[in-house]
């Protein structure tokens, strides 16, 4: 799918499962646990920096935070960092037990309420680096079909407005579970933006 979507790109995948016997032109799949920051850094040193990073791995909040901390420095200026399923934590997960926040909560607080990024899995230095280098934070739903029923489209428009006004409800979270962080291209960080959009199926 990614080869088709990024038809000119070299793709570096990373998965906890071993795909070493799979040979795909333009793609390499590294075996790694995304909660292992040192291994992520090793891989990024080998094949980075990257134009786009997509975290669609375990979806565990802690893993997403470790991965962001390790890979954000390897995102090129002007690059995009995409995280899927930022709202979800399994019932009996360590995150729930230990009160670890979801990525959605962390980035809503940062981009809508202007609060600092905080995570037990990110150093203060990395949090500041992310704050200073993200120029746009987009909350999106990946599976809204262009042909969705008009009621559904208007419901999503209403929720988008609520998200942008910082008045989203708990039930809205599920609809804006995909976050796209845009890294600044130049020194100037003027015009930080928060957007809530609906993406069409064929755009993901």
Ligand X SMILES: C[S@@+](CC[C@H](N)C(=O)[O-])C[C@H]1O[C@@H](n2cnc3c(N)ncnc32)[C@H](O)[C@@H]1O
Comparing CB distances to ligand X, the nearer of 7 and 17 is: 17
Helix residue spans in 25-123 (DSSP H): 37-47, 61-71, 94-98, 103-111
Min dist. Cβ of residue 100 to ligand X (A): 15
Residues that bind ligand X (CB under 6 A): 15-17, 33-35, 56-58, 63
Which residue is nearest to ligand X, using beta carbons?
58
What gap in Å lies between CA 99 and CA 82, rounded to an integer? 23
Is residue 124 a contact partner of residue 132, using CB atoms and an 8 Å limit? no
Comparing CB distances to ligand X, the nearer of 36 and 131 is: 36
Min dist. Cβ of residue 122 to ligand X (A): 17
Min dist. Cβ of residue 2 to ligand X (A): 6
Min dist. Cβ of residue 24 to ligand X (A): 12
Regarding beta strands 134-141 and 193-198, do their DSSP bridges make them parallel or antiparallel, or are they unpaired?
Answer: parallel
3 state SS of 12: strand
Comparing CB distances to ligand X, the nearer of 35 and 198 is: 35
Is residue 146 a contact partner of residue 197, using CB atoms and an 8 Å limit? no
Is residue 1 a contact partner of residue 12, using CB atoms and an 8 Å limit? no
Comparing CB distances to ligand X, the nearer of 85 and 172 is: 85
Min dist. Cβ of residue 161 to ligand X (A): 30
Comparing CB distances to ligand X, the nearer of 20 and 154 is: 20
Beta bridge partners of 189: none
| Sequence-ordered list of residues with C-beta below 8 angstroms from that of 177, at least 6 positions apart, any chain | 84, 85, 86, 87, 88, 104, 141, 142
First to last CA, the chain: 10
Comparing CB distances to ligand X, the nearer of 57 and 79 is: 57
Q: What is the CA 107 to chain-centroid distance, rounded?
A: 10
Min dist. Cβ of residue 58 to ligand X (A): 3
């Amino acid at each position: 799918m990614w080869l088709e979507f990024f038809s000119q790109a070299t793709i570096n995948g990373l998965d906890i499962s071993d795909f070493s016997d799979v040979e795909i032109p333009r793609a390499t799949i590294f075996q790694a646990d995304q909660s292992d920051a040192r291994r992520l850094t090793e891989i990024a040193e080998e094949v980075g920096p990257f134009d786009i990073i997509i975290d669609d791995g375990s979806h565990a909040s802690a893993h997403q935070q470790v991965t962001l901390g390790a890979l954000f420095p390897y995102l090129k200026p002007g690059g995009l960092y995409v995280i899927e399923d930022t709202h979800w934590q399994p019932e009996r997960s360590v995150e729930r037990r230990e009160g670890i926040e979801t990525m959605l909560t962390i980035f809503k607080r940062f981009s809508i309420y202007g609060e600092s990024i905080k995570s037990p899995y990110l150093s203060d230095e990395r949090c500041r680096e992310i704050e200073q280098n993200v120029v746009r934070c987009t909350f999106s739903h990946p599976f809204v079909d262009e042909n969705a029923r008009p009621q559904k489209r208007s419901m999503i428009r209403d929720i988008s407005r609520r998200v942008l006004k910082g008045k989203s409800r708990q039930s809205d979270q599920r609809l804006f579970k995909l976050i796209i962080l845009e890294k600044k291209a130049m020194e100037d960080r003027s015009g930080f933006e928060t957007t809530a959009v609906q993406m069409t199926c064929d755009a993901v």
